[in-house]
Chains A and B, each alone.
Chain A
Amino acid sequence: MKEKPPVVFIVDDDAGVRSSIRLLLRSVGIAATPLASAAEFLAAFDASQPGCLVLDIRMPSMSGMELQQQLNLRGAIIPVIFITGHGDVPMAVEAMQHGAFDFLQKPFRDQDLIDRIQKALARDRDNRTALLKHDGIRASLESLTPREKEVLELLTQGMQNKVMAAKLGLSQRTVEIHRAHVMEKMGASSVAQLVRMVLDTRDV
């Protein structure tokens, strides 16, 4: 799959604020897409698009908080930076509890916004890499036969071939063949690596 370049989405109902942020980001070479409402963003939302979201917390019709809920329901991983006004701190705290990446109070220092956006983009990149890796591991796991899955399970428990053979009622030779297949299909070069992979997918 070809990697798409990241985009910063700016969702603010105030035309002045969103186009000034777009210009500010352009001045540091970051591509941004300004949108006037939460609904516009949802309509154009593509989970596979890397980037981050700069979101006004107060908007008519659908607020930033409500958009965040919608995104959470869809299992979106895009990092959200909330832009808040004075006295919105309790709201911002709530947004953070719901998984917001960060928040900034208006008016903010340009460098603060740029720094946070760059951090959010890096976080998004890491998240997507990890997800891809997980997806790869899951796909490999799916490709195992039921017998191979049994062998993998016992392997990760640190069981010896001989013990495993007895437990599964197989010859030691057959266990060795299954084990080689598991290592090959999972693309693991050691049992330690194999264990890491399995634990990784269980964490998520």
Chain B
Amino acid sequence: MPSSQLLAVMDAAVDAVILMDQTGRIQAVNGAGERMFGWPPGELAGRNVGVLMPEAARGAHDGYIARYLQTGVSRIIGIGRELQAQRRDGRAFPAFVSVGRVAGAEPPQFVGFIRDTTAQHEHIADVQHEARRSVDRLMNVSRMATMGEMAAGIAHELNQPLTAIANYARASERFLAMPEPELDEVREAVREIAGEALRAGAIIRRLRELVRGGEEARENTPVARLVEELRLLTLADARMHGVSIRFDLHADAPEVFVHPTQIMQALLNLIRNALESTAGDAAGRREVLVRSRRNDAGDCEIEVCDNGPGVAPEILDRMFDPFLTTKQKGTGLGLPMSRTIAEAHGGSLRHEPVEPRGARFILTLPAAGNVA
């Protein structure tokens, strides 16, 4: 039994202080400990320290002291770690536990210091939640900025079917006004009008899907579908930049478990960078290739490759840093955002130079079955 002076010191502590023997039997506990674990005064003494932890952790704990005494290798003694503790009423709470051996005591004696970390955890959760919301907001800003930049291309793309529809309709009018109306031509024109109207609708639908974003859940998605969704929008953008864009979507690319719009956003950033970087080159050499395939690990790789001037050597190390931009009106968020999205999905985004000229960005996403 500890001296009354020691007990007084223990009682003055804010944290729980528990004195135990080498079998884990509690010899003394301070008032803070009894309150923290919800035990009436005096009832903990004599019990095994295992009653202070959830059942699942008890077995492991029994071994700790014995193993320490046998091997001298410490899991917790002298170190301190974050553990789940349990109150008498069964409620678990996170606690920081450090255990020390009492020097000179024979048989060996151990003292444990336990701090309830519930408040810290709540604070961390708040911070994480806030961080996630900030990322969401940034993603929205980045998405809206992209939309703004793409607006001209999209307007142009919508103008195409509208122009065609107007032409077909006027031609039909003229064919019908002839003394002997050319009905075959009119039939062809009407069929084309319907097709062009659907095409305009498809452009708008794709755009809405991309703008919506954010709220959707992760789902199993074939990568080809994501790229396919982007095809119309990027074609518009490619035309604006006078660049030809090719899609090479391998059927063997596995499904991925993703937030579809986030991945589309990441890809769109990469594709737009590629288009912009090649736009200044001479005619006939401006090309962007988007390829998806299964890599050796069975995961999905989406590659955006251009034959532009490539990434300048002086920014190779920093291109994924936020707010670094080489564009006149860039936000500097495109690449870091794309990498954040890739990593949030358990994937990665990396850059490789292309010989003799150009840049390749490779977005890797774990196959749906490989997601941890």
Interface residues of A (CB under 8 A from B): 13-14, 16-17, 19-21, 23-24, 26-28, 38-39, 58-63, 66, 85-87, 106-108, 110
Contacts and interface: CB of A to CB of B under 8 A. Distances in A.
A106 B239 contact: no
B162 interface: yes
A16 B242 CA distance: 19
Contact of A107 (B152, B163, B171, B240): B163
Contacts of A86: 152, 155-156, 159
Given A16-B196, A110-B167, 16 more contacts: A20-B163, A20-B171, A20-B189, A20-B192, A23-B185, A26-B185, A27-B170, A28-B174, A38-B283, A58-B240, A60-B242, A60-B245, A63-B283, A85-B159, A106-B163, A110-B166
Contacts of A87: 152, 155
- What's the dominant secondary structure at chain B's contact region? helix
Nearest to A70: B283
A27 B174 CA distance: 6
Contact of A61 (B170, B185, B284): B284
Interface of B: 152, 155-156, 159-168, 170-172, 174-175, 185, 188-189, 192, 195-196, 199, 238-240, 242-245, 283-284, 286
A24 B163 contact: no
B189 A17 contact: no
A62 to B, nearest CB: 4
Contacts of A62: 283-284
B151 to A, nearest CB: 10
B286 A20 contact: no
A26 B171 contact: yes
B190 to A, nearest CB: 11
A144 to B, nearest CB: 45
Contact of A24 (B167, B188, B242): B167
13 contacts: A16-B163, A17-B160, A19-B164, A20-B196, A21-B167, A23-B185, A24-B174, A38-B283, A60-B239, A60-B286, A85-B155, A86-B155, A107-B163
B185 A27 contact: yes
A23 B189 contact: yes
B8 to A, nearest CB: 83
A66 B283 contact: yes
A38 B239 CA distance: 14
A23 B168 contact: yes
A20 B171 CA distance: 8
Contact of A19 (B192, B239, B284): B192
With most chain A CB atoms within 10 A of its CB, the pick from B189, B196, B239, B283 is B283
A14 B167 CA distance: 14
B156 A13 contact: no
Contacts of B286: 60-61
Contacts of B167: 17, 20-21, 23-24, 110
A38 B284 CA distance: 10
A24 B174 CA distance: 8
Contacts of A38: 283
Contacts of B244: 60-61
Contacts of A110: 166-167, 170-171
Contacts of B240: 58
A67 B160 CA distance: 20
Contacts of B171: 20, 23-24, 26-27, 110
A111 B46 CA distance: 102
B175 A27 contact: yes
B173 to A, nearest CB: 8
